[in-house]
Amino acid sequence: MVHPDDKPLMEKAISDLYKFGHTEGEYRIVRTDGSIAWVSDRTHLVYDKSGAPLRIDGIVTDITQRKQAEKEKEELQAQLMQSAKMAAVGQLAGGIAHEINNPLTVILGFAEGLAKRLAPGDTLEMPIKSIEREAVRCGKLVQDLLVFSRSQKAGPEELDVVKTIESAMSLISARAKNSNIKLVRAFGENIPHIFANSNQLQQVIINLANNAFDAMGERGTLTIRARGLEENGKRWVEIRVEDTGTGIPEEIRSRIFEPFFTTKEAGKGTGLGLGLCYEIVKNTGGTITFTTEAGKGTCFTVRLPAADGGANAK
Amino acid sequence: MGEPMQSEMRKTIVLIIDDEVGIQDVFAFLLEPIGCEVLHASDGLEGLAVLENRQVDVVFLDIHMPRLNGVEVLRRIREKNPTQRVIVMSSSSDPFGSAENEARKLRATVVVEKPIGADDIIALLEESGNGWSLPQGS
């Protein structure tokens, strides 16, 4: 049976066959055991003496292996491109961190020092506090960028995933309340511990939740799940962040993990959120994937190796 | 009999070894009003020269400097004074943190990352010496 998604391809092939007398096409079929195979279909019409179609001759070849190899090659190329981009951002981040952190120390030091010398109610309090706050913000941005240069000095530790998610929840709950979003927690039992940096894992959860809020606007449900699972003999912890928002448009799906890629208006997002999630999860030995449907919502799935049985756990 | 009193009156001497003039200025701005004497050096060699001539309670040492970097300065300080309090300041330009790790191996009192705010600087001074406003060893 032709794969339902490829029926239009099949229909076009039949239409071409009658129009031109021959056709070539590649499409998927569903085997009787439910597995999917790619086939190449080359057919032509055989006519009788009067010129009327008599029969269809053709060769159908199983090209599943070739398609698989092509897909793997494409994925590898995409990964290489992603790595190259991350490396470029990392190099840039490491370089600018040095140049920015020095002046930030001067700005912060003077602003905080001046603030301490002000009498209560001094009219300079607001501007000086603003300088301090914005300098801290710049410092945070530089710290975020440094994730890409892998120069975060804080190492991983053994973490209880549920506790870490709960710590991130205080920020998430506040925004859910303000936006009238229902928050659902669904944590499995006996979830194994993982080796990760606690702050970074919280950052992943918060970034995913913030995107979910942006996708839902003023109503919806945000579900955060966590469970332990075993796959290919390895133990993993899976965290899911699901929303009922607008979904991710198809044309930007391949770009969402790119650093500085954003759909948010200027000032609302740096375009680093998902890029950071990707980098943090990758550095922890895990994977981040997503499924999305227009108008229905998006689910991000983060898998991290269990501390006691993960391939990359150290 | 009067010596302890004189000793208590002595200012805490802080040496800033950093090639950024702004950093030197901010330390002076923050620490002089609270009773510290703040000495400056703009690179590692200058810093070592100051330490040859002055007894210093706490050194704030930048890692990335011309002529002699912070790690090398710390190595030379340790050869002469294993107990000198040295706060190493990093600005994260090294993606692998190897200079910071080297500084830890050389028993830096603490390694901190810039940016450092006023409260951080004062807290570091308090932590690095037991009762920082009193003379060293009291």
Burial class (CB in 10 A: 0-12, 13-18, 19+), A190: exposed
In order, the DSSP letters of A222-237 are EEEEEEEEEETTEEEE
Residue A176 C-alpha, separation from nearest chain B C-alpha, in angstroms: 32
Over 80: is that where the pLDDT of A150 sits?
no
The percentage of chain B sitting over the pLDDT mark of 70, rounded to a whole number, equals 81
In chain B, which residues have their Cβ closer than 8 Å to the Cβ of A135?
115
Please state the rounded mean pLDDT for residues A99-117.
Answer: 91
Q: Which of A97, A113, A116 sits opposite B92 (nearest CB)?
A: A97
- Least-confidence region, from A119-123, A147-151, A185-189, B36-40: A147-151
**pLDDT level of residue A38 (50, 70, 90 thresholds):** very high
Q: Does pLDDT of A217 surpass 60? A: yes
The string of DSSP codes covering B63-88 is SS-SSS-HHHHHHHHHHH-TT-EEEE
Q: Report the range of poorest mean pLDDT among A27-41, A156-170, A182-196.
A: A156-170
CB contact under 8 A, B26 and A109: yes
Quote the minimal CA–CA distance from B53 to chain A in Å.
28
**A151 CB within 8 Å of a chain B CB:** yes
pLDDT higher at B136 or B101: B101
Residue A175 and residue A213 in contact, taking contact as beta carbons nearer than 8 Å: yes
Cβ pair A113:B113 closer than 8 A: no
Residue A90: its chain B contacts at CB < 8 A? 95
Q: CB–CB of B118 and A146 under 8 A?
A: no
Side chain identity, residue A202: Q
- The answer to whether residue A312 scores a pLDDT higher than 50 is no
pLDDT at B7: 47
Quote the strand ranges of chain A, DSSP E. Answer: 22-30, 36-47, 53-62, 157-159, 181-187, 194-196, 220-231, 234-242, 287-293, 297-305
The pLDDT assigned to B1 comes to 43
Contacts of A112 in chain B (CB under 8 A): 117-119
B48-85 pLDDT, tens digit each: 999 999 999 999 999 988 888 999 999 999 999 999 99
Beta bridge partners of A300: A241, A290
Cα(B10)–Cα(B82) distance, integer angstroms: 23
| Min Cα separation B27/chain A (Å) | 8
- What is the distance between the alpha carbons of residues A64 and A159, in angstroms, rounded to a whole number? 42
Q: Which of residues 41-70 of B touch A (CB under 8 A)?
A: 64
Between CA B58 and CA B50 the distance in angstroms is 13
